[in-house]
Amino acid sequence: MGSTGSVSSWDEALLTAMIQYPVPVIRGPEDIQVQVDKICKTVDNTKAGYPGLDLIVFPEYSTQGLNTKIWTYDEMLLTLESPEIGRFREACKRNSVWGVFSLMERNEDPKKPPYNSAIIINADGDIALHYRKLQPWVPIEPWSPGNYGMPVCDGPKGSKLAVCICHDGMFPELAREAAYKGCNVYIRISGYSTQVNDQWIWTNKSNAWQNLMYTLAVNLAGYDEVFYYFGEGTVCNYDGNVIQQGHRNPWEIVTAELFPRLVDKARENWALENNIFNLGCRAYVGKPGGERENYLTWVRDLAEGKYKLPWDDKIKIRDGWEYYPDGVKLGPMPK
């Protein structure tokens, strides 16, 4: 177990615990209930072991698994009103702790694929934030693109929380969006196998440094009879340095004590390397107030719906044809 905190915390310290949840093997809806039972029990047990715990985080796919053959069928999906989500809410309220949970969420339009979603539940059992994955992992994940943007909510101990999901963290633009909205603790939940282990850690560090914010990232751990998932919960300081690094052990609890007020003070008082501020007022030494006109071609093109790379015509993989040759299967599971 990795720890940079105690079992208790003081007024300005945000005590966090990330659970390197064992990758669940899901074959049907009954297996989801098993995972919900385990997750709620884990909330109870972790709070008992860390009485001062403020925030507990579970990885992507910890609730409904990664079975690509069945994960978009109706029986495998949840909504915010599902009893399973109600149990997560009860667990947080019962333990007076904030929690981050994963769900594969049914689309409001039954003709469209579901969303890969995350929720933050506060210590009163209320849903404080609802996020839908903006950048599903192509060409494999069949999720609808998220349509809620990058929301930020007030959290405990002066924190301002945002959550991204797995591949989202490879896009510096999303971390910047969260920071631009005031986030000082950026949470990343993921279900990566070992192919991108190093890149996952690098981007956790760069997202923290480039935006002067803490990053909390936790991955599934263990073997699901196909892939191995690397765990390695990573906590990065707002200067980009790793505060705590988990190992590859399923069920390892990675804890850290964070101080959100220090992020706020760094953003207010730093001049050198205050990158998120300097971006919008370039060269304020040579030009008082700085240059504020947009100079980024891709920002303009993206805003106008004209984003296109110089090598766009040469890109070969442009859809999920190899993984879903007949399209994404929706509706009831075949008998």
Q: State the pTM of this model.
A: 0.96
181 counts as catalytic: no
So what's the pLDDT on residue 4?
A: 65
Name the CA dihedral angle for 184, 189, 192, 196, rounded to a multiple of 10 degrees: 0
pLDDT digits (tens, 9 = 90+) for 177-199: 999 999 999 999 999 988 888 99
Please pick, among 40, 60, 164, 236, the residue that the annotation labels catalytic: 60
Can you state the angle between helices 29-49 and 83-95, rounded to 10 degrees? 10
The active-site residue out of 92, 166, 183, 236 is 166
Percent with pLDDT over 90 in the chain:
88
Question: Which strand (E) or helix (H) includes residue 57?
Answer: strand 55-57
What does the pLDDT average to over 308-329? 91
Instruction: State the average pLDDT over residues 138-147.
Output: 95
List the structure tokens of 327: 């399209």
Q: Is 166 a catalytic residue?
A: yes
User: Domain locations in the chain?
Assistant: 2-273
Phi-psi region of 241 (alpha: psi -120 to 50; beta: other; left: phi over 0): beta
Whether the per-residue pLDDT at 309 is higher than 90: the answer is: yes
Residue listed under structure tokens 């971390």: 175
Cβ-Cβ contacts under 8 Å for 114 (sequence gap 6 or more): 72, 77, 104, 105, 106, 107, 143, 144
**Which member of 47, 84, 133, 153 is catalytic?**
133
Q: Is 93 helix (H, G, I), strand (E, B) or coil?
A: helix
pLDDT at 95 over 80: yes
133 catalytic per annotation: yes
Are 118 and 161 spatial neighbours (Cβ–Cβ below 8 Å)?
Answer: no
DSSP per residue over 57-91, as a string? Answer: E--TTTTT---TTTTTSGGG-B-TTSHHHHHHHHH
pLDDT tens-digit map of 279-306 = 999 999 999 999 999 999 999 999 999 9
The helix or strand, by DSSP H or E, that contains position 153, with its residue range, turns out to be strand 153-154
Report the alpha-carbon distance of residue 116 to residue 113 in Å, rounded: 10
Q: How far apart are CA 115 and CA 131, in angstroms?
A: 9
**Mean pLDDT score of the chain:** 95
> Hey, what are 276's tokens?
């998120």
Which H/E stretch holds residue 127? strand 127-132
Q: Are strands 185-190 and 160-165 parallel, antiparallel or unpaired?
A: parallel
Tokens 């765990």 sit on residue: 231
DSSP assignment of 193-214: BGGGHHHHHHHHHHHHHHHT-E
CATH of domain 2-273: 3.60.110.10
Cβ neighbors of 281 (< 8 A, separation 6 or more) are 289, 290, 291, 292
